[in-house]
A = this chain, B = another copy of it.
Amino acid sequence: MGNSFGLLFRVTTFGESHGPAIGAVIDGCPPRLPLEPADIQSELDRRRPGQSDLSSPRAEADRVEILSGLFQGKTTGAPLAFLVRNTDHRPSAYTEIAAAFRPSHADFAWWKKFGIRDPNGGGRSSARETIARVAAGAVAKKILAASGVEIRAFTTRIHDIAAPGAALENFPSLAEVEANAARCPHPETAAAMIERVKAVRAEGDSVGGVVECRARGVPAGLGEPVFDRLDADLAKAMLSIPASKGFEIGAGFGGSLSRGSLLNDPFGSANGQIRPLSNNSGGVQGGISNGAEIRFRVAFKPTPTIALPQQTVDTSGNPVELAARGRHDPCVVPRAVVIVEAMTALVLLDHLLRQTARTRSL
């Protein structure tokens, strides 16, 4: 249970870090969508490790194979299944994990839950699982793009190095985000972030940060109160990403320091179209999109895997000292950008289809 996401565009994922493959099945993909592996591969390539010196050196081609749901280059409405083979297995690197519970990792909790665990690279709890999310998100993005919806996530803070708010007020282009290894569209900040990550890695340590995500072109009316609010489903999607520990939309936690008279978004009208004149709500009011840009932020903790020695216990409870030898990222934030976008696409498309079902005229 728990490995499916979405109601009408429903993604079910599978696979472990060092098993044969990672993959997913999308049930509910609209038919007649032109789709080729390259549409998915381009997003997987953004997520792939080993692309900059900020990320894990694991060498994986991460080639996607589409198994079903396509006919002559178009989706058929049948389940779209795809997989990515794991190739760079190094189980021997994980002998220590098998014997001890890594601090702040999933090891202990998963073992308490399932009574068994696959220690190789964390098994199912590895962030390699997000390959399936990124691939499914690529399909969702393509459909959303055809409806005029564009999603852009980027790094706003790594450790305590934050981009100035004013610098990120505009919707960044994909090129601006991809221009540097930090995925921060403010070049000066990005340079400082990269220095910080390198310095921290050299110390054998890790850092966290914040990803911001925007979506424009989202029609008003998406979200299903009272429980499946658009912001509620976005929050769930974000907290389901490994290492995420917080979510805020619009003014978020900061807005709780303000007053109604300052924070409220008044409505105005132009060219016969009503719209909010400010966007402290982050594009969602009462759980439903209001046509303004969707804006939210996600907090990521420092990678728990560090090279510095840490005290912990083995599976029998005996104290052991642990120092990571597996490959890992000193900061997950830049790669999380791609995953945040993918999960956002899954939420928005699912709600777009739910709202479409409602449009049947009576």
Residue of B20, B221, B226 touching A129 (CB-CB under 8 A):
B226
Chain B residues near A312: list those with CB within 8 A.
Answer: 266-268
Instruction: Name the CB-closest residue of B to A247.
Output: B247
Chain B residues near A280: list those with CB within 8 A.
Answer: 104, 301
Residue of B246, B269, B360 touching A246 (CB-CB under 8 A):
B246
Indicate if the CB atoms of B362 and A30 lie closer than 8 Å.
yes
Q: Is A179 an interface residue (CB 8 A)?
A: no
> Oligomeric state, in number of copies?
4
Number of A positions contacting B (CB below 8 A): 161
Indicate if the CB atoms of B226 and A116 lie closer than 8 Å.
no
Chain B residues near A209: list those with CB within 8 A.
Answer: 256
Stretch binding the partner chain, chosen from A55-63, A169-177, A180-188, A281-289: A281-289
Residue of B33, B68, B272 touching A20 (CB-CB under 8 A):
B68
Rounded to whole Å, the gap between the CB of A55 and the closest CB of chain B is 15
B-contact bits for A270-284, CB 8 A (1 contact / 0 none): 001110100011101
Instruction: Name the CB-closest residue of B to A27.
Output: B3
B-contact bits for A202-226, CB 8 A (1 contact / 0 none): 0011111110000000011111111
Residue of B8, B245, B311, B354 touching A248 (CB-CB under 8 A):
B245
Task: State the 7 A-B residue pairs at the shortest beta-carbon distance, nearest first.
Answer: A106-B286, A2-B224, A269-B317, A246-B248, A2-B228, A236-B236, A206-B260
